[in-house]
Amino acid sequence: MAKANLNTLLQKCATPHHIKQLQAHLITAAHFQFQFCPLRSKLIEFYALPPLNDLSHAHTIFRQINTPSTNDFNAILRGLARCAEPTRAISWFRSVLINSVRIDALTCSFALQACARVLACVETMQIHSQVLRGGFFADALLGTTLLDVYAKIGDLFSAKKVFDEMLVRDIASWNALIAGLAQGNLGSEALELFRRMREESLLRPNEITVLGALAACSQLGALRKGEKIYEYIRDEGLDTNVQVCNAVIDMYAKCGFVDKSFLVFENVKCRNNLVTWNTMIMAFANHGDGVKALELFEQMGSVGVKPDDVTYLGVLCACNHAGLVDDGVRLFNSMMESGLNPNMKHYGSVVDLLGRAGRLQEAYDMVKSMSMVADVVLWQTLLSACQIYGDVKMAEIASSKLAEMGSSNCGDFVLLSNVYASHERWDDVGRVRRAMRTRDVQKVPGFSYIEVNGVINKFFTGDKTHGSWREIYKKLDEIRFKIKEYGYVAGTSYVLHDLGEEEKENALCYHSEKLAVAFGLISTSEGTSIQVFKNLRICGDCHEVIKLISKSYNCEIIVRDRVRFHKFKEGSCSCKDYW
């Protein structure tokens, strides 16, 4: 029987029984032991891959071959790379090398796919060396796979190096690096690469490309760049893709413009997509608009969209940020009644909701009543609530639990220290500080950044590295003088040290978000909206100062901190001082 006919038969095999008949024919016709038998390799692949996924039988066939070819080894490797234990593929690749089997680009590609699934850093570098040694780097697809693996394991330096060395770059290679940079918190570099792709490459960005670029914009709060990408999306007709529309909704929300998010949401053609509803609900939640989030939640049923655990997390967060305690408790109970099991994040949201409302005992009772063991984040949430209300006893319980769990997070110590400081228990503050030094606990440095004229400007507390730092500090002195006319008194209770009032005031004056806002004021025209992004939660003193800046300088200031958005206008904040 001709090889072409055998290939046709293989494709038409509908059951394992048919395949075994074909296997028997190969053996009896003496084709099976040919040194180069592509059909034999395809047969192994047929067993190793879906829908059969019978790796055991694929191995049985392989062991019957006297002199397996590279294709035979690759067939097993491909199946192992996709199986439930991809580390087996890496072990198989090692055995191929040990047995001095000639490898090719596909061998490396399948092994790299396994590395990507288990984030195997060392093995990826070893396979990279085999790629170079075998001269396979000219294969554009293999280069893209290698780049993608480096991006996924977080080795962005190597990913960029592979990209720069590629002789031919296909759209997957551009997309892999853009997405990797965005996921690796290198949003500026991701957007620069997106610009290069549009200007230097003949390739047109596709849906995957713009998803990576939009993620970078969301991370940086780069509204202008995000809007340009959205303009490209509409010009190219990519706005028919639901994933892309969801990313645009998320981008606008994370850049501080939830109203624009809602406009995109209303125009999405596929309104029965659950992720779209979840994205919009979470956008309202992060902006503290609990009422609109709840309204949207109620509307889901009218279009036949059933809420899932992510939906409930979104509305619980919305209730949390808006202080809608009773609504939050009602929704949590509704979730359990609907048959959805709450996870740690759901419990955390309700514990935070109760705790920040002063219902600390209820929050503690909920933690104790959980069927699962409370994690570190949950106890930190309770400890944070204790700081707000100065509850020493509850704070010590939460702190003790965190110590038992081996947590050495700086925030744990700072929160307990805050509680002691609020009662002027300076000996206990000192004890906590000594414990921090003993355990070598490092404080996470707070930083803020602001985009002005397309350039991201980053500031740390007390920063004097910026080119305009003298003008910034001069502006801060002006701000301090001006806001005192509105009755501002420095919130020195936010400073933990047992210092004099003047020293405490100076310690507060140069927080990173204040530096960023001051830079925004000196760099933009009067009345321009200022957007600042901070990696930690905004402190109470900065919150009060920025409210007064918005009033005295007649400008809108949007601050995105680690938890939510604050929109300051005419002396008030969208959070209504509840955060």
The string of pLDDT tens digits covering residues 292-311 is 999 999 999 888 899 999 99
Higher-confidence position of 241 and 440: 241
Give 5's pLDDT tier (boundaries 50, 70, 90): low
- Residue 306: inside a domain, yes or no? no
Residue 423 lies in a domain: no
What does the alpha-carbon distance between residue 108 and residue 96 come to, in Å, rounded to a whole number? 11
Give the integer Cα–Cα distance in Å for 568 and 174.
39
Q: Is the per-residue pLDDT at 215 higher than 50? A: yes
pLDDT of residue 493 exceeding 60: no
* Cβ contact 521:530 at 8 Å: yes
Kindly state whether residue 347 falls inside one of the protein's structural domains. Answer: no
Establish if 539 belongs to a structural domain. yes
Is a pLDDT exceeding 70 seen at residue 25? no
pLDDT in tens, 271-293: 789 999 999 999 999 999 999 99
- Confidence band for 92, pLDDT divided at 50, 70 and 90: very high
- If you ran DSSP here, which 8-state letter would residue 447 be given? E
Q: What is the pLDDT of residue 109?
A: 96
Count the helix, strand and coil residues of the chain and give each as a percent rounded to the nearest 5.
Answer: 65, 5, 30
Is 90 exceeded by the pLDDT of residue 15? no
Residues above pLDDT 90, as percent of the chain = 63
Q: Is residue 175, in this structure, part of any structural domain at all?
A: no
pLDDT at 192 over 90: yes
The per-residue pLDDT for range 496-531, each reduced to its tens digit, is 444 444 445 556 788 999 999 999 999 999 888 999
Structurally, the chain folds into a number of domains equal to 1
C-alpha–C-alpha distance, residues 522 and 515, integer Å: 11
Contact indicator for 280, 265 with CB cutoff of 8 Å = yes
> Could you tell me the pTM of the whole model?
0.82
User: Is residue 4's pLDDT more than 60?
Assistant: no
Q: Is residue 354 part of a domain?
A: no
CA distance 428 to 419: 10
- Mean pLDDT of the 51-68 span: 89
**Whole domain around residue 517: which residue ranges?**
448-573
Identify each DSSP E strand in 404-482 by its residue range: 447-452, 455-460
Does any domain span residue 351?
A: no
The reply to whether 473 falls in a domain is yes
